[in-house]
Structure 1
Amino acid sequence: MSKQLRQDLTYGAPLAAVAAMLADPAFREEVCERQRVLRHDVRVDSTGEGVEVRIEQVQDAAGIPSFAKKLIGDEITIVQEEHWASPEAGDITVTIPGKPGDMRGTATLAESGGVTTETVDLTVKVSIPLVGGKVEGLVADMLRKALLVENKVGRDYLSR
């Protein structure tokens, strides 16, 4: 089993500006702060024409249903890695270290008329018998909310 998550994030800016924002550690730090994570570590490295992004964040598990909290604990460590081979496309992997599952997919940027849309397309897979599908849905909802916060931060960032 797995769950698909596809989310479009629109920015009123050219593709080059959005790509530069996504490669700015200050932007990534601000997203973590707005998501109210307990702790985070952000690394962004240029690799020739590409960019490598690694975000490790610890979130409070408060508000998570009890069946999932038993599996996760009081805090959730999430590691997000992005490998952007070009400004237009990147591969994304999100893991919860020590837990059975991951999220994998792509992010693409496309510009039309000075407006850039980032499309995030992920497959959420949790390998837990009986409750895996429920956890996949929970994780997909959490990711969607996190992406919407990132979009809001990005719009604010680009308007400065």
Structure 2
Amino acid sequence: MARRIEHRSTSEWASSQVHQALIDIDYLRDRLAELGGTRNELVKHDVLGDAVRFQLRQGVSTEALPPVARTVAGAGDLVIDRTESWRCEEPGHYNGEIAAEVAGVPCTITGSMWLRDLPEAGSEFLVDGEVRVNVPFVGGRVEDLVAEQVQKLLAREEQFTGEWLAKHSQ
């Protein structure tokens, strides 16, 4: 059974500014460097009209994992490949998809993302997704753990985005 991920946040920045950051090559590299990990890299970045698709790779040391996750991960660092795609639906409204896989581990993360202007000012960012771990007996516990870590990662990314925009806007 999959575990649901829901994340909602607001920003003082307009959706167009947040979107520009989320798809910016320098922003993506800076975010990878800031959030840490091993073997971090921007693998791909493709722009087709108003649609952008990119792939990030992040490594997580097995020493940083709880014991139940280590049983699923095996030996060596985890390598997570995360793909995001974004497109402009209309001015002030962006839609995206996210997918992540962990190399050698039967774990997938999928979801949809929305970024839109708020009526008063600023913007709202939403992620609706799920974690699925296909491992007998411990899969549910690992799904809970992964969902919790994804929530924490999204909160850290949100904070980084605000700080990055503050430094790089005008």
Q: Do they fold alike, i.e. is TM over 0.5? A: yes
Letter in 1 for 2:60: Q
Deviation at 1:142, TM superposition (A): 1.2
- Counterparts of 1:39-58 in structure 2, within 5 Å, are 39-42=39-42, 43-58=44-59
Q: Which residue of 2 aligns with 1:118?
A: 125
- Aligned residues between the structures: 160
2:136 aligned to 114, 129, 142, which one? 129
Deviation at 1:61, TM superposition (A): 2.4
Question: Unmatched 5+ residue regions in structure 1?
Answer: none
Letter in 1 for 2:123: T
Larger deviation: 127-136 or 32-41? 32-41
Q: What CA distance in whole angstroms lies between the structure 2 residues aligned with 1:67 and 1:59?
A: 15
Structure 1 runs (4+) deviating above 2 angstroms are none
Length-normalised TM-score, structure 1: 0.93
- Counterparts of 1:96-107 in structure 2, within 5 Å, are 96-107=102-113
Greater relative contact order: 1 or 2 (C-alpha under 8 angstroms, separation 6 or more)? Answer: 1
Q: What CA distance in whole angstroms lies between the structure 1 residues aligned with 2:59 and 2:85?
A: 21
Question: Unmatched 5+ residue regions in structure 2?
Answer: none
SS in 1 for 2:137: coil
**1:35 aligned onto 2:41:** no
RMSD across aligned C-alpha pairs, in angstroms?
Answer: 1.4
Q: What CA distance in whole angstroms lies between the structure 1 residues aligned with 2:68 and 2:160?
A: 32
- Counterparts of 1:1-160 in structure 2, within 5 Å, are 1-42=1-42, 43-72=44-73, 73-86=75-88, 88-112=94-118, 113-160=120-167
Letter in 1 for 2:135: I
Q: What CA distance in whole angstroms lies between the structure 1 residues aligned with 2:8 and 2:76?
A: 31
Say whether the 8 Å CA contact 2:112–2:128 is kept in structure 1. yes
Say whether the 8 Å CA contact 1:34–1:149 is kept in structure 2. no
The percentage of aligned residue pairs carrying the same residue is: 24
Deviation at 1:2, TM superposition (A): 0.6
Larger deviation: 99-108 or 83-92? 83-92
Deviation at 1:10, TM superposition (A): 2.1
Deviation at 1:12, TM superposition (A): 1.0
Letter in 1 for 2:109: M
SS in 2 for 1:128: coil
Q: What CA distance in whole angstroms lies between the structure 1 residues aligned with 2:112 and 2:35?
A: 21
Say whether the 8 Å CA contact 1:30–1:153 is kept in structure 2. no
Length-normalised TM-score, structure 2: 0.88
